[in-house]
């Protein structure tokens, strides 16, 4: 059975969404990304991954895969019939990789990471000054279409949906882009996505109040 190390409402949420969309059972391990400890036994999370970051997907053979773009494509390829990622060699596979890279670099690492992790106000301000342009690119792309790639949901949509949920906490009002509001509503209405988000939001609430 696959195992996913996650932190509620961190980028590993996209991996949970992918697993649930694919109907793949997995064992989930809560990893505190702030203290770098595995919650179940208080063991060193760096022993799981030297990067100390989620997601970490433990494969059936015991190997460990990190980085959202890689984990998401791996999960999608386990159930190719579902179309969570276009097949290798298809032109849309490169579009999928394009959007996974864009969300990962231009929204996740360029804005969300410094906003929630950096203490340097200048670095946060620099990230804030650039984010509107990146969000506008996604909004323009989605204005005439329902999904990022092709005509149906892919793992890239799960990753972007997570980033849009976090933008508000970082001070970006997504309501300024109507195409993103309707897009996020569509994605969040999917049963697997809805269940994954509700579960992690409840878990996060439990952790913050305990």
Query: Under 8 Å CB-to-CB from 92, ≥6 apart: which residues?
Result: 86, 149, 150
The CATH code that applies to domain 2-83 is 3.40.30.10
- pLDDT for position 118: 60
For residue 153, the SS3 value is coil
Strand partners, 170: none
Pick from 146, 79, 48: nearest CA to 57: 48
Per-residue pLDDT, 121: 72
What is the reported pLDDT for 171?
A: 84
Walking along the chain (210 residues) 10 residues at a time, the average pLDDT comes out as: 97 98 98 96 97 97 97 98 97 98 92 70 75 94 98 97 90 94 98 97 87
Would you state the pLDDT for residue 32?
Answer: 96
Q: How far is CA 91 from CA 44, 57, 78, 96, in A?
A: 41, 27, 20, 9
pTM of the model: 0.94
Rg (CA), the chain: 17
Q: What is the enclosing helix (H) or strand (E) of 56?
A: strand 56-58
Question: Residue 74: enclosing H or E segment and its boundaries?
Answer: helix 68-78
C-alpha span between 104 and 140 (Å, rounded): 18
- Record: fold of 91-191: Glutathione S-transferase Yfyf (Class Pi); Chain A, domain 2 (1.20.1050)
Q: Give φ, ψ of 44 to 5 degrees.
A: -75, 115
Domain span(s) for CATH 1.20.1050.10 in the chain: 91-191
Residue 1: the pLDDT is: 96
pLDDT at res. 120: 67
Say what the pLDDT of residue 46 is.
98
């Amino acid at each position: 059975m696959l195992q996913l190390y996650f932190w509620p409402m961190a980028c590993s949420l996209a991996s949970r969404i992918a697993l649930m969309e694919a109907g793949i059972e997995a064992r989930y391990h809560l990893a505190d990304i702030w203290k770098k400890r595995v919650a179940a036994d208080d063991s060193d999370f760096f022993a799981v991954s030297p990067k100390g970051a989620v997601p970490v997907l433990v494969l059936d053979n015991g190997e460990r895969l990190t980085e959202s773009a890689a984990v998401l494509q791996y999960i999608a390829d386990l159930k190719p019939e579902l179309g969570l990622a276009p097949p290798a060699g298809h032109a849309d596979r490169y579009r999928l990789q394009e959007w996974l890279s864009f969300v990962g670099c231009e929204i996740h690492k360029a804005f969300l990471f410094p906003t929630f992790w950096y203490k340097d106000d200048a670095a946060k301000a620099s990230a804030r000054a650039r984010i509107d342009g990146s969000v506008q690119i996604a909004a323009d792309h989605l204005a005439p279409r329902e999904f990022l790639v092709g005509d149906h949901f892919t793992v890239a949509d799960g990753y972007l949906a997570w980033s849009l949920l976090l933008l508000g906490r970082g001070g970006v009002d997504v309501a300024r882009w109507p195409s993103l509001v309707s897009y996020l509503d569509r994605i969040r209405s999917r049963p697997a996505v809805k269940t994954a988000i509700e579960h992690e939001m409840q878990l996060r609430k439990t952790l913050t109040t305990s």
